[in-house]
Chains A and B, each alone.
Chain A
Amino acid sequence: MAERRQRLWLAFAVEGSLKWLGHLGLLRAWRRALRRARLPLLYSQGFHPRPRISIAFPLPVGFSGERELLDMLLTRPLPPLEVARRVRPHLPAGLSLKNVEEADVRAPSLQSQLRAAEYLVRLTSPSDLPQRVQELLSKESCPRERRGKQYDLRPLIRSLSVEGDLKLRMVLQAGDRGTGRPDEVLLALGLDPSEAAIHRRRLYLASDRS
């Protein structure tokens, strides 16, 4: 029976008020949407069976996302287009399905394949943004503390640039080997993250050819 299972990767966007959900809220929204779509979800064993779905990279509360990834297992194969057609009518406003693709059932988890993420940050100030960015990038290291732990933010920044007037684009390392957070980058730049609109544009996986 196991060989008839199917693994699908769903690319989705989170926008509008749904960005306030947080990871668990988003997972709950997905679980219920997929159940409403009546897909043949594969459930975990045990006393509290749960559908085998997981999200590649938790989206922090307040972030919007353009191409987030969800992994799910079905008990029998369905054409990806058919899955998309069935799921879309059951998504709440603010959650949209961009793409469904079939993945190898034995593929390593999305979480373990995650390498980096790209962010766009919209700011309301200041005018000396390019200087601040230059300054940060010129540093060898940028020691920071988060939840009582010391770490160096600098090597987690793969790229950081000013786009347009008050926009920052950044690619930050993500995954097992350390995750850079865009709000930490903003703090390192002397900016208030709560004043910024943070948007995750895409995730980079080990398997990505780019």
Chain B
Amino acid sequence: MTVVDERALDRILPRVRKPARYTGGEWNSVAKDWGGISVKTALAYPDIYEVGMSNLGLAILYDVLNSQPDLLAERVYAPWPDMEAQMRSVGIPLFSLETRHPLREFDILGFSLEYELNYATALNMLDLADIPLHATERGPEWPLVIAGGSCTYNPEPLAPFFDAFVIGEGEEVILELARTVARWKGEEELLRRLATIPGVYVPSLYQVRYRADSTIAGVQPRISEAPKTVHKRVLPRLGPIPTHPIVPFLQTIHDRGMVEIQRGCTQGCRFCQAGYIYRPVRERPLKEILAAVEELLVNTGYEEVALLSLSSTDYSRIEELVQALVERYQDPPLSISLPSLRADAFSVELAELFQGRRRTSLTFAPETGTQRLRDVINKKITDEDILTTAEAAFSRGWHRLKLYFMIGLPTETREDVAAIVELVRKVRGIGRRHQGRRTEISVSVATFVPKSHTPFQWWPLVSREELEARQDILRRGLLRQPGVSLSWHEPETTLLEAALSRGDRRLAPVVERAWRTGARLDAWDEHFDADRWQRAFQAEGLNPDFYARRERPLEEVLPWEHISSGVNKEFLWAESRRAMEGKLTPDCRERCLDCGVNRVLPVKRPVLARGENG
């Protein structure tokens, strides 16, 4: 085994920004001796250290793998271009942070794919590791290249580059996968064996046929061992909370302890992919969370903890949890962050509890400006809720509110967008009444991108002209109001995200060409080049609009049709019809809607009614 020489690194690190991104050694990082290890996994995140280190999924897998005496996991992130240039010029291959082994010496290289704009970066990392890009070019001597994360619910645009994708929750399947690799490594048989593991999708074992109109005729397994539909993996019970996570030296995006208090969400917002793919909801017992926070703080020295979930306010004992943490950690007070608060007075009371006197800012997501459109997307809050929340927040001392909206939603009109301006004006008026000129409203607007496995998966992305017109309405209406600021995403990244997220295998050459012509770190404005991607689509004779802006009929075979989140297509279609009729669908804590997840997956009565967590 040859590790990357420390002296060689010492010569290039003075020439790069933030060299600590590449040197590891953080508290709680695990550098095992490679002797006696049967399967070595490199866990990769296709973005830089500060982003990748904030990913909870990889932190969990790191913990799961390193807890096994005969397995190990190490980390690797994408280098910033300054480091990439240095590595390429002196011939240092991409290496792991823990022991500086080149990636090609691992048995498994596992990527976390959470964002379509990271795809080119994943290819760049393979190339930097001197690993052939295409699975067909990699013989048995190469690491098995796999991926997990939410993007693998439609992994087709990356199909040729990966040996296998893990669909769903990785905690159990990663061990089954590692054991299978241990047994069959280096043998032809390996891929077939992997295909028999529930939740593992081996793309090379499937054939996709197309119709003359370019839509998909069908996806068939090439061999009998490969299942016709790959069902996601889901844990009947969440595993232990990682309580000795790596403590980075650098400031990362989430520089705090992370405790997942529940997984899944019962709200059923129709635009939200996470709300469908992470079903069913599973709460962690209050006691377990409190014990984990204590251990986490002792093991890390963190002063702040984030209680993670898709909808904090839905955790059945949230108030008790926050109360207990505030009481337990007073000197100095523990900083608590609670994402995804619902816009209601209860959330403001909760924030009052955990923000103490600090009252920095509160964030809520009305999503739309009109009730009509909010009903379409099944976001079950009213205009009145929003105004009451603003009233509660401003009257109790907050002077800054962050409001998240989406534009480009199905059935949206310019009147709906203009209503956002009105809603913000009303909220600002309430702020002015209580906080005067100190009132600040930051409005963040995302463009709706239809995602696979949601009721809006058939729906087109809004056209560029219309998007610009709607943005203009916001710009003109909001920026005239003093104290209101506005931010949004570039329309070009939105188109790429939309095309890749609902694309098929024919997009792989586009991703490859974009990468070959310089695409990487596309999630960073300073690196993203829309023309480069446009040229890559053109050169491959494909139009991103075919994937992004075409309304798809029910009969069409979707590129991800052989991947199942457990929620069946009929349910999603029915939901999309209800959306068009503006009908709300209740929270599934109230009543099971039989979306299919309970039938396919071995989870018995997973959804707790409020107050049942004990």
Q: A-side interface residues toward B, CB under 8 Å?
A: 16-18, 20-22, 24-26, 28-29, 31-36, 38, 43, 47-49, 61-62, 90, 92-94, 193-195, 197
| Closest residue on chain A to residue B24 by CB atoms | A17
Is B250 within 8 A of A32, CB to CB?
no
Which one of B296-304, B312-320, B488-496, B569-577 is at the interface? B296-304
Which of the candidate stretches B11-19, B144-152, B179-187 sits at the interface with the other chain? B11-19
Cβ-neighbour of A28 out of B251, B335, B358 (below 8 A): B251
Mostly, the A contact residues are helix
User: Could you say which of B25, B298, B331 contacts A36, with CB atoms under 8 Å apart?
Assistant: B298
Do A62 and B358 have beta carbons less than 8 Å apart?
A: no
Question: Contact: B301 with A35, CB < 8 Å?
Answer: yes
Across the interface, B357 reaches (CB within 8 A) one of A26, A29, A47, A90, namely: A47
B20 touching A93, Cβ below 8 Å: no
A194 with B301: CB separation less than 8 A: no
State A16–B13 Cα separation when bound (angstroms).
13
How far does the Cβ of A47 sit from chain B's closest Cβ, in whole Å?
4
Residue-wise interface mask of B (324-359) relative to A, using a CB-CB cutoff of 8 A (1 in contact, 0 not): 000000011101000000000000000000001110
The answer on a CB contact under 8 Å between B25 and A18 is yes
B25 lies within 8 A of A93 (CB): yes
- How many angstroms between the C-alpha atoms of A201 and B303 in the bound complex? 32
Q: Which residues of B contact A49 (CB under 8 A)?
A: 332-333
CB–CB B20/A21 < 8 A? yes
A20-B13 in contact given A28-B251, A92-B26 (Cβ < 8 Å): yes
Complex CA distance for A90 and B303, rounded to whole angstroms: 16
With a CB–CB cut-off of 8 A, which chain A residues contact B13?
A: 20, 62
- Confirm or deny: B247 has a beta carbon within 8 angstroms of a beta carbon on chain A: yes
Bound complex: CA A152 to CA B27 (Å): 42
Quick one: given A92-B26, A194-B14, A194-B15, are A21 and B301 in contact (CB under 8 Å)? Answer: no
The chain A residue with its CB closest to the CB of B255 is A28
B536-579 to A contact mask, C-beta < 8 Å, 1/0: 00000000000000000000000000000000000000000000
Q: Which of B14, B302, B335 makes the CB contact (< 8 A) with A32? A: B302
Listed by A's residue number, 18 A-B pairs whose Cβ atoms lie within 8 Å are A21-B250, A24-B251, A25-B250, A29-B27, A32-B27, A32-B301, A35-B303, A36-B27, A36-B298, A36-B299, A38-B298, A43-B331, A47-B360, A49-B332, A92-B249, A93-B25, A195-B11, A197-B10
B301 touching A31, Cβ below 8 Å: yes
* One of A22, A36, A48 near B300 (C-beta < 8 A): A36
Q: Output the nearest chain A residue to B25 by Cβ-Cβ distance.
A: A17
Contacts of A61 in B (CB 8 A): 19-20
| A29 & B249 in contact (Cβ 8 Å cutoff) | yes
User: Which residues in window 12-56 of B have CB below 8 A to A?
Assistant: 13-15, 18-20, 22-27
Contact with A along B169-209 (1 / 0, CB 8 A): 00000000000000000000000000000000000000000
Question: 5 tightest CB-CB pairs across the interface, nearest first?
Answer: A32-B301, A35-B301, A194-B14, A17-B23, A20-B19
Interface residue total, chain B, C-beta cutoff 8 A: 34
Q: How many angstroms from the CA of A34 to the CA of B360 in the assembled complex?
A: 27
Contacts of A22 in B (CB 8 A): 18, 20
Contact A62 B24 (CB under 8 A): no
Q: Is the CB of A32 within 8 A of B300?
A: yes
Q: State the Cβ distance, A24 to closest chain B Cβ, in Å.
A: 7
* Chain A proximity mask over B343-383: 1 for CB below 8 Å, otherwise 0: 00000000000001110100000000000000000000000
Chain A residue contacts of B10, Cβ below 8 A: 197
Inter-chain contact total with CB atoms closer than 8 Å: 75
The complex places the Cα of A31 from the Cα of B51 at a distance, in Å, of 22
Q: Which residues of B contact A24 (CB under 8 A)?
A: 251
CB distance from B22 to the nearest CB of A (A): 8
The chain B residue sitting closest to A27, CB to CB, is B249
A28-B251, A62-B19 known; A92+B25 contact, CB < 8 A: yes
Report chain A residues within 8 Å CB of B331: 43
Closest to A26 in B: B249
Residues of B within 8 A of A20 (CB): 13, 19-20, 22-23
Best-buried of A20, A31, A36 by chain B (most CB within 10 Å): A20
A28 vs B304: C-alpha distance when bound (angstroms): 13
A62 and chain B: residue at smallest CB distance: B14
Min C-beta distance of A90 to chain B, whole Å: 8
Name the distance in Å between B138's Cβ and chain A's nearest Cβ.
Answer: 31
Q: How far is the CA of A35 from the CA of B297 in the complex (A)?
A: 9
Which residue of A has the minimal Cβ distance to B303? A35
Contact of A43 among B6, B27, B249, B332 (CB under 8 A): B332
In Å, the complex CA distance between A48 and B332 comes to 9
Q: How far is the CB of B438 from chain A (nearest CB, A)?
A: 16
For B20, list chain A residues within 8 Å (CB): 17, 20-22, 25, 61
B358 neighbours in A (Cβ, 8 Å): 47-48
The CA of A21 and the CA of B13, in the complex, are separated in Å by 11
A90 to B244, CA, bound (A): 13
**Residues in A neighbouring B335, C-beta threshold 8 A:** 48
- CA gap between A18 and B248 in the complex, in Å: 12
- Judge whether A193 and B14 touch: CB under 8 Å: yes
Contacting residues, chain B, for A34 (C-beta < 8 A): 301
Q: Which residue of A lies closest to B13 (CB)?
A: A20
Query: A125: shortest Cβ distance to chain B, in Å?
Result: 13
> Considering residues B6, B11, B14, B358, which has the most beta carbons from chain A within 10 angstroms of its beta carbon?
B14
User: Nearest-CB distance from B85 to chain A (Å)?
Assistant: 14
With contacts A17-B23, A92-B249 known, what are 14 further pairs, Cβ within 8 A? A20-B19, A20-B23, A21-B249, A25-B20, A28-B249, A36-B299, A38-B298, A47-B356, A48-B335, A49-B333, A62-B14, A62-B19, A92-B27, A194-B14
Q: How far is the CB of A187 from chain B (nearest CB, A)?
A: 13
| Closest CB in chain A relative to B134 CB, distance in Å | 35
Complexed CA–CA distance, A20 and B249 (Å): 10
Residues of B within 8 A of A26 (CB): 249
- Interface 1/0 per residue, B282-316 and A, CB below 8 Å: 00000000000000011111110000000000000
Complex Cα gap A32–B247 (Å): 9
Q: How far is the CB of B11 from chain A (nearest CB, A)?
A: 8
Q: Measured between alpha carbons, how far is A52 from B298 in the docked complex, in Å? A: 19
Chain A residues near B299 (CB, 8 Å)?
Answer: 36
In the bound assembly, the distance between CA atoms of A28 and B26 in angstroms comes to: 11
Q: Which of A26, A32, A62 is the most central at the interface, judged by chain B CB atoms within 10 Å of its CB? A: A32
- The distance from the CB of A77 to the nearest CB of chain B, in whole angstroms, is 18
By a CB distance below 8 angstroms, the chain A residues around B297 are 35
Expressed in whole angstroms, the Cα–Cα distance for A34 and B27 within the complex equals 13
CA distance A37 to B164 in the complex (A): 44
Nearest chain B CB to A205 CB, angstrom units: 27
Q: Which residues of A contact B357 (CB under 8 A)?
A: 47
Cα-based distance from A61 to B14 in the complex (angstroms): 8
Task: Tell me the minimal C-beta distance from A197 to chain B in angstroms.
Answer: 7
Residues of A within 8 A of B14 (CB): 62, 193-194
> Which residues of A lie under 8 Å from residue B302 when comparing CB positions?
32, 35
Which chain A residues lie closer than 8 Å to B332 at the CB level?
43, 49
Residues of B within 8 Å of A25, CB to CB, are 20, 249-250
CB nearest neighbor in A for B28 = A92
